[in-house]
């Protein structure tokens, strides 16, 4: 929630005290600042003292005006992905809150007409400047949809592919991810990845199943760039038709970063990963079935530091 207050000095009268409270996630930072500035200007020009509260949920903005010398009033306004249109509707609703309903004249009574006083006679030395015109940036005026992660509320589901480089082979496989969007640009989640070796050195093929738990953080205001950290467990299997098989379990953590292209409600993320194991994970197999060879062999291993690449398509909310 963005809170702001301001005083405006206009010669010849007392300064109104204006307080604004805006909680409108559908507006980006620039559009929210424009709404606050235009609302504050409207209240100051009307010499209205009090607190103006705007709360946006889904496609509706709830407005409440708490004057210092009267009863509070409330209203609603429709919002949309077009920031300029949403701001105009909120200001129209504010105007309705500040404009009292016309008094109904009793039957047979004439409605009194207020006297018209020339501006010069009313305030000969007062010069009132027109309110400033605030121009939204082109991207907000164009009505571009909001692209920050905050629009992806609740539980999100992602699916994609991952690749890693092992000692003498590359691996590729599918992955799935479930995430929970949190406040302040954070997200927590769990993922599962299966990697399969693309070639079989010494007739040995390998696969890995990785279960990871962790979170990430949006670096920029639009949250197109994110960085995360996961703890994981790896289940590694190596097998050969002639030399048997070997299974290993290893623990470690993974650093990852991603850049995203957002088209609500879908977010496509691509970025590198770095998996760190306490030591190299080696797949050692025994001698050949015909007895040839001596001792165990190490056809390949997963290095202590392994680089990779992840592509995820995230959509939500699913709940």
DSSP string across 122-142: H-TT--PPPPPPP---HHHHT
Cβ atoms within 10 A of the Cβ of 205, count? Answer: 19
Distance between CA atoms of residues 306 and 92, nearest Å: 58
User: What is the pLDDT at residue 5?
Assistant: 39
Determine phi and psi for 49, rounding to 5 degrees: -105, 130
Query: What percent of the chain has a predicted confidence (pLDDT) above 70?
Result: 72
Average pLDDT of span 15-43: 85
The yes-or-no verdict on residue 137 having pLDDT over 50 is yes
| 3-state SS assignment for residue 12 | coil
* Residue whose structure tokens are 């590198």: 272
Distance CA 124, CA 12 (A): 10
Residue 11 reports pLDDT greater than 70: no
- Please say whether the beta carbons of 217 and 194 come within 8 A: no
**Rounded to the nearest 5 degrees, what angle is found at the Cα of 35, between the Cα atoms of 137 and 82?**
55
Taking the CA atoms of 175, 181, 187 and 189 in sequence, report the sign of the dihedral they define: negative
Distances (CA, A) of 14 to 40, 46, 121, 135, 217: 16, 12, 19, 29, 47
Q: Which two tokens stand for residue 215?
A: 């979170």
What pLDDT score was predicted for residue 108?
54
Secondary structure of residue 38 in the 3-state scheme = helix
What separation in angstroms does the CA of 70 have from each of 49, 73, 75, 160, 278?
A: 10, 9, 16, 58, 68
pLDDT, tens digit, for every residue of 179-231?
Answer: 998 888 888 999 999 999 888 777 788 889 999 999 999 898 778 899 999 99
Rg from Cα positions in the chain: 32
How many C-beta atoms lie closer than 10 Å to residue 95's C-beta? 11
Sign of CA dihedral 276, 260, 59, 25: positive
Q: Is the pLDDT of residue 244 over 90?
A: no
Token pair recorded at residue 240:
């050969």
Q: Model-level pTM greater than 0.75?
A: no
Q: Decide: helix, strand or coil at residue 297.
A: strand
Nearest partner of 30 among 155, 141, 108, judged by Cα: 141
| pLDDT, tens digit (0-9, with 9 covering 90-100), for 260-278 | 998 877 889 999 999 999 9
pLDDT at residue 82 tops 80: yes
Take residue 189 and report the two structure tokens written for it. 């989640």
Cα 151–35–97 angle (5° rounding)? 110
Confidence category of residue 134, pLDDT binned at 50, 70, 90 = low
| Residue 317 tokens, joined | 């909310």
């Amino acid at each position: 929630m963005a809170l702001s207050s301001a005083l405006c000095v206009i010669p010849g009268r007392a300064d109104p005290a204006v307080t604004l409270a805006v909680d409108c996630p559908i507006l980006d930072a620039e559009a929210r600042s424009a709404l606050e500035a235009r609302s504050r200007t409207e209240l100051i020009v009307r010499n209205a003292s009090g607190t103006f509260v705007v709360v946006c949920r889904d496609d509706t903005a709830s407005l409440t005006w708490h004057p210092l010398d009267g009863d509070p009033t409330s209203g609603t306004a429709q919002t949309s992905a077009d920031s300029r249109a949403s701001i105009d509707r909120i200001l129209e609703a504010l105007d309705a809150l500040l404009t009292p309903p016309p008094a109904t004249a009793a039957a047979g009574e004439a409605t009194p007409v207020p006297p018209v006083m020339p501006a010069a006679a009313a305030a000969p030395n007062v010069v009132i400047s027109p309110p400033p015109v605030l121009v939204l940036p082109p991207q907000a005026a164009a009505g571009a949809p909001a692209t920050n992660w905050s629009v992806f509320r609740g539980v999100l589901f992602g699916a994609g592919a991952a690749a890693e480089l092992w000692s003498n082979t590359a691996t590729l496989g599918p992955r799935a991810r479930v995430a929970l969007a949190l406040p302040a640009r954070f997200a927590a989640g769990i993922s599962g990845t299966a990697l399969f070796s693309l070639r079989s050195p010494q007739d040995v093929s390998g696969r890995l199943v990785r279960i990871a738990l962790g979170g990430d953080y949006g670096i920029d205001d639009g949250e197109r760039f994110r960085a995360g950290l996961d703890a994981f467990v790896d289940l590694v299997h190596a097998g050969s038709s002639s030399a048997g098989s070997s299974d290993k379990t290893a623990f470690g953590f993974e650093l990852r970063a991603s850049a995203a292209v957002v088209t609500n409600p879908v977010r496509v993320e691509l970025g590198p990963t770095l998996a760190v194991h306490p030591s190299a994970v080696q797949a050692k197999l025994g001698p050949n079935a015909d007895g040839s060879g001596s001792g165990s062999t190490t056809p390949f291993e997963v290095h202590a530091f392994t680089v990779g690449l992840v592509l995820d398509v995230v959509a939500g909310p699913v709940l």
